[in-house]
């Protein structure tokens, strides 16, 4: 099952509307965390270190719907914790499907197979399964043997039942590039719609601080992993973000692009940093000192971050908001990624440079090209779908 064409056009036209309205800051994906508890205790996780009194709590469906309506983002990622532990997760998903939000339900897949009957296949629902490599690597990352095989079996069952399934992989400094490439081959054989990859960010609360990647390590690793990638690999990410990971395109963080709502409210400033909470999305957007975050800010907490939740929104915005971004995306989509170049070049650590923005007239022309296709699409659950080498994505 391929990515619905309606999802691509929904995101594209949403971004173009913000550009034409000269909206400086807008959300692309809402990171909705309805709970923090999990049935794993991964060494690199910073979300399960809360006290038991917090881990026992859930957001109820109405709280989730209010946050989604207030934010207005076209896509919703549901991380955790493990969302399938939420007793009303199926009600939350049903309510978001009714709102025609594209949902990525993030799961370690331990409970996925037994819970499939609670959900209905839909172009709006994707199970994003957390897999950090082949069997040995993944089981070590999640600190429990046998989980990789459970997850792969659940993926196969979900695909057979007609569900959209993607994978989410976090890589650390002990990752082997050749093993990662074999892992991608296996995921394509399993039948996932697309893969998402991201470098591990040093969560302050994570038990294992030794294996997180620093910026130059990230560039060297991904330059090797993505050197002349196979055309059979399908990534559930924008081409510019993958170019950024391998040191071929520079981006700055867009921390407001993936705002987070959880048990404590709207998290400042982003999914990865916890520096307070706001009572409303409007308050989050208007009172956060956004200039204090991102690599150019000089904030030491942001120095090594190259995670998709901060940089994927930037990649999408540059794809539809700058000639440089648009042409690079077109080139990669048509001709593939090619060689990564020298490792020294990938790890040069150059400062971000502003891409030339598209003029308003060009934005209008681009939207006029997209809109008729979007308007004519079939919005039924069995509407037209297309497979793509690289797609827009979300993750927790």
Which residues, including other chains, have CB under 8 Å from residue 252's CB and lie 6 or more apart? 294, 295, 296, 314, 352
Q: Residues of the chain whose pLDDT is less than 70?
A: 1-3, 43-44, 46-47, 202-212, 341-396
Q: Give the span between the Cα atoms of 130 and 363, in whole angstroms.
A: 36
For residue 129, count other CB atoms closer than 10 A to its CB. Answer: 24
pLDDT at 111: 97
Residue 40 is predicted with a pLDDT of 83
In the chain, the domains with their CATH numbers are: 3-386 (3.20.20.70)
pLDDT value, residue 390: 42
Specify the pLDDT at position 353: 45
Backbone φ and ψ for 236, nearest 5 degrees, come out as -90, 50
What pLDDT score was predicted for residue 385? 46
- Give the whole-angstrom CA distance, residue 94 versus residue 55: 24
CB 133 within 8 A of CB 180: yes
CB 312 within 8 A of CB 15: no
**Strand 102-107 to strand 125-130: parallel, antiparallel, or no bridges (unpaired)?**
parallel
pTM for this structure? 0.86
User: Which residues, 6 or more positions from 117, have their beta carbon under 8 angstroms from its beta carbon?
Assistant: none
Which residues make Cβ contacts (< 8 Å) with residue 224, sequence separation at least 6?
Answer: 177, 340, 343
Sheet holding 164-171, edge to edge: 194-199, 164-171, 125-130, 102-107, 75-78, 29-32, 260-262, 265-269, 274-278
**In this predicted structure, what is the pLDDT of residue 375?**
47
The predicted pLDDT at position 314 comes to 94
Summarised one tens digit per residue, pLDDT across range 85-138 is 999 999 999 999 999 999 999 999 999 999 999 999 999 999 999 999 999 998
The DSSP code sequence of 86-110 is STTHHHHHHHHHHTT-EEEEEE-ST
Total count of residues recorded for the chain: 396
pLDDT at residue 389, as a whole number = 39
């Amino acid at each position: 099952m391929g990515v619905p064409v309606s999802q691509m056009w929904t995101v594209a036209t949403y971004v173009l509307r913000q550009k034409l309205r000269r909206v400086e800051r807008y959300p692309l994906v809402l990171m909705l965390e309805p709970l923090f508890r999990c049935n794993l205790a991964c060494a690199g996780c910073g979300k399960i270190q809360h006290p038991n009194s917090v881990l026992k709590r859930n957001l109820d469906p109405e709280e989730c719907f209010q946050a989604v309506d207030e934010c207005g983002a076209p896509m919703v990622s549901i991380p955790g914790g493990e969302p399938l532990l939420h007793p009303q997760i199926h009600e939350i998903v049903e309510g978001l499907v009714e709102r025609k939000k594209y949902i990525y339900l993030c799961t370690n897949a331990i409970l996925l197979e037994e819970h499939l009957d609670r959900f209905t296949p839909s172009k709006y629902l994707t199970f994003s399964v957390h897999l950090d490599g082949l069997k040995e690597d993944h089981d070590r990352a999640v600190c429990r043997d046998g989980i990789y095989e459970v997850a792969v079996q659940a993926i196969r069952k979900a695909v057979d039942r007609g569900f959209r399934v993607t994978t989410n992989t976090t890589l650390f400094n002990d990752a082997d590039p050749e093993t990662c490439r074999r892992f991608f081959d296996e995921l394509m054989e399993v039948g996932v719609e697309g893969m998402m990859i991201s470098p591990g960010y040093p969560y302050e609360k994570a038990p294992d601080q030794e294996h997180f990647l620093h910026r130059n390590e990230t560039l060297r690793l991904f330059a090797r992993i993505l050197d002349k990638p196979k055309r059979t690999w399908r990534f559930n990410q924008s081409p510019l973000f993958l170019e950024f990971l391998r040191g071929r395109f520079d981006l700055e963080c867009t921390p407001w692009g993936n705002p987070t709502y959880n048990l404590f409210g709207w998290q400042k400033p982003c999914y990865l940093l916890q520096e307070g909470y706001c009572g409303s999305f409007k308050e989050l957007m208007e009172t956060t000192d956004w200039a204090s975050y991102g690599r150019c800010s000089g904030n030491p907490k942001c120095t090594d971050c190259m995670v998709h939740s901060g940089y994927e929104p930037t990649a999408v915005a540059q794809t539809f908001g700058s000639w440089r971004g648009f042409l690079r995306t077109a080139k990669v989509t048509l001709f593939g990624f090619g060689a990564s170049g020298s490792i020294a070049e990938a790890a040069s650590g150059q400062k971000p440079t502003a891409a030339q923005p598209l003029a308003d007239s060009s934005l209008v022309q681009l939207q006029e090209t997209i809109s008729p296709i979007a308007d004519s699409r079939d919005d039924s659950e069995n509407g037209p779908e297309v497979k793509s080498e690289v797609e827009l994505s979300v993750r927790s």
